């Protein structure tokens, strides 16, 4: 029986590719689910339609109206929530809770940008700061204005968040007024494909505002030009390759890369076992090992613990991890499913092996679990929840260099005050990360660590007893806060409320007769 083919939606219609296809698989059963290929789909026509039809339609609207489109998009995803979550369970190995995180994150981000649209009102421009006097005459003024770029936003997403990845990037670009071509990772594209079907069936967006590629990018990246934007999420290697493409360099294409990250969680020496802060820390670490089988770009990979607390931390983490029920994610009792693909399983196991060989001790897991619940023997791409430990901060250099993108994290003990300086240096390794979380009630320690690591992180989460009850975990990306990080993390920045719009707009310094500049600026929204 032939498998269903995922079509691309470009130039205002569904188009079937006709070349060599990639098979999408259920990572629990290894059953084939669908095929995808973009070969034969005309990428130049896709760009032309997005640029000539989608762009003008979006730019004719103000922020408020674009926000209303996002509101409709958000509501539609919510209305189809169960159906979309089922696709996450089937095609990405998500538990229902994992899939909910993805789908609800998508709706919430769209809704948040819809709210921002309402706040920005009917304007189409953003006014940056106050006007300034730039000459000897008071008539001469300067003012910065942001206007929408006239090209297309190409969004290339990773496999781990098919709904949120599509929605968070699209929400920002569409609110800024740029048409989007979205390409999900092929292996888990079923959910993103269904989202595109919903957008088309329910006519949620103007023609040309959102196009969708099923399968590889083909020559999409080669066709990017000066007014276009590339926003990429995936491995650092692919990010670097795309950034280095000839046309991308020659045309100064604006590029945003969200890549790998060795996110750290740091426990302060003042935190007593059993305290609220301690409990928050343990909860966050366990969640990040098991949620989405550890396949979150923001997941904690390195856990820095004062040596005096190591035994208690180790014991509690092992106790909690022992409660993890690994198996078929469609079953209610299962709390962790497989990783998304065979390649992922191979990479994750190889990564753990690398850390072991380099000297990290396996406290639990470290391989394929024996009998995942409800799964046929020998099937599925499972990796056991894994906790490793190093003898000291620097005993295993690879822990600070190699990201294991799966259900694995490593404990790293630090000693006295001198070690805090060394610990900060290691947290910064790789030139940066997406997020680090610091758990302490000692304000001086929080301050020292924050100031030590801030310049190499896009986000720092400070956890203490004051916020323990309602804390947002470090793994959750908030639409109003920036997501991204320097160095290894790709050097990018997404979201952050209105800040995200800047990627898709051009800031122009305008100088001239003050009253005229003021009247022009009055058409925009001051930020």
Interacting residues with ligand NAP (CB under 6 A): 156-160, 183, 185-187, 216-217, 221, 233-235, 238, 241-242, 258-260, 297, 403, 405, 434
Packing angle of the helix pair 417-427, 443-453 (nearest 10 deg): 40
Q: Which is nearer to ligand NAP, 103 or 185 (CB)?
A: 185
CA distance 192 to 48: 23
Q: Which is nearer to ligand NAP, 215 or 514 (CB)?
A: 215
Structure tokens at 184: 């999900």
By the 8 A CB rule, do 406 and 293 touch? yes
Q: Which is nearer to ligand NAP, 212 or 278 (CB)?
A: 212
CB of 246 to ligand NAP, least distance (A): 14
Q: Which is nearer to ligand NAP, 133 or 241 (CB)?
A: 241
By the 8 A CB rule, do 415 and 307 touch? yes
| Active-site choice (258, 276, 389, 493) | 258
Active site residue 319: no
| Active-site choice (297, 390, 448, 494) | 297
3-state secondary structure of 141: strand
CB of 403 to ligand NAP, least distance (A): 6
By the 8 A CB rule, do 364 and 266 touch? no
Structure tokens at 306: 């004062």
CB of 189 to ligand NAP, least distance (A): 8
CB of 60 to ligand NAP, least distance (A): 31
CA distance 148 to 505: 4
Query: Which residue number has the CB closest to ligand NAP?
Result: 234
Which H or E run contains 277?
A: helix 276-290
By the 8 A CB rule, do 399 and 410 touch? yes
CA distance 398 to 356: 10
Active site residue 297: yes
CA distance 209 to 226: 19
CB of 92 to ligand NAP, least distance (A): 12
CB of 200 to ligand NAP, least distance (A): 21
The label of the residue with tokens 């060989």 reads 357
By the 8 A CB rule, do 110 and 73 touch? yes
Q: Which is nearer to ligand NAP, 69 or 214 (CB)?
A: 214
Q: Which is nearer to ligand NAP, 186 or 290 (CB)?
A: 186
Q: In sequence order, what are the residues at sequence separation of 6 or more whose Cβ sits closer than 8 angstroms to the Cβ of residue 60?
A: none
By annotation, the residues acting in catalysis are: 258, 297
């Amino acid at each position: 029986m032939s498998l269903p083919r995922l079509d691309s939606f470009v130039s205002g219609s569904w188009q079937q590719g006709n070349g060599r296809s990639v098979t999408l698989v259920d990572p629990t059963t290894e059953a084939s689910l669908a095929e995808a290929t973009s070969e034969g789909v005309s990428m130049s026509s896709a760009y032309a339609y997005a640029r000539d039809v989608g762009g003008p339609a979006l730019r004719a609207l103000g922020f408020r109206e674009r926000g209303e489109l996002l509101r409709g998009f958000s509501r539609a995803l919510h209305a189809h929530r169960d159906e979309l979550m089922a696709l996450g369970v089937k095609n990405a190995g998500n538990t229902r809770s994992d899939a909910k995180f993805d789908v609800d994150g998508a709706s919430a981000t769209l809704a948040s940008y819809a709210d921002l649209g309402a706040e920005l009102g009917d304007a189409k421009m953003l006014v940056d700061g106050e006007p300034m006097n730039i000459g000897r005459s008071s008539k001469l003024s300067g003012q910065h204005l942001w206007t929408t770029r006239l090209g297309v936003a190409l969004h290339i997403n990773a496999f781990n968040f098919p709904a949120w990845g599509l929605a968070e990037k699209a929400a920002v670009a569409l609110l800024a007024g740029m048409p989007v071509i979205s390409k999900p990772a092929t292996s888990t594209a079923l959910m993103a494909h269904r989202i595109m079907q919903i957008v088309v069936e329910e006519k949620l967006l103007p023609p040309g505002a959102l196009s969708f590629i099923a399968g590889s990018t083909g020559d999409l990246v080669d066709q990017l030009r000066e007014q276009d934007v590339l926003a990429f999420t995936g491995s650092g290697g692919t990010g670097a390759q795309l950034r280095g493409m000839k046309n991308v360099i020659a045309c100064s294409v604006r590029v945003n890369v969200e890549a790998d990250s060795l996110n750290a969680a740091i426990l302060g020496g003042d935190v007593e076992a059993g305290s609220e802060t301690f409990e928050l820390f343990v909860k966050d670490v366990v969640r990040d090992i098991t949620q989405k089988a550890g396949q979150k770009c923001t997941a904690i990979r390195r856990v820095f613990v004062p040596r005096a607390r190591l035994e208690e931390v180790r014991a509690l983490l092992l106790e909690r991890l022992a409660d993890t029920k690994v198996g078929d994610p469609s079953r209610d009792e299962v709390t962790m499913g497989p990783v998304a693909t065979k390649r992922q399983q191979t990479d994750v196991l190889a990564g753990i092996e690398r850390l072991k060989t380099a000297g990290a001790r396996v406290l639990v897991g470290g391989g394929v679990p024996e009998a995942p619940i409800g799964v046929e023997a020998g099937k599925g791409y499972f990796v056991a929840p894994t906790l490793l430990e190093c003898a000291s901060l620097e005993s295993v250099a690879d822990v600070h260099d190699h990201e294991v993108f799966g259900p694995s994290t490593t404990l790293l003990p630090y000693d006295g005050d001198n070690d805090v300086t060394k610990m900060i240096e290691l947290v910064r390794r790789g030139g940066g990360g997406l997020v680090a979380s610091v758990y302490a009630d000692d304000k001086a320690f929080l301050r020292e660590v924050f100031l030590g690591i801030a310049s190499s992180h896009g986000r720092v989460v400070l956890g203490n007893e004051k916020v323990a009850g309602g804390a947002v975990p470090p793994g959750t990306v908030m639409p109003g806060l920036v997501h991204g990080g320097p160095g290894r993390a790709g050097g990018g920045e997404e979201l952050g409320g209105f800040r995200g719009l800047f990627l898709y707009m051009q800031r122009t310094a305008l100088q001239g007769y003050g009253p005229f500049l003021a009247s022009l600026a009055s058409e925009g929204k001051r930020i």
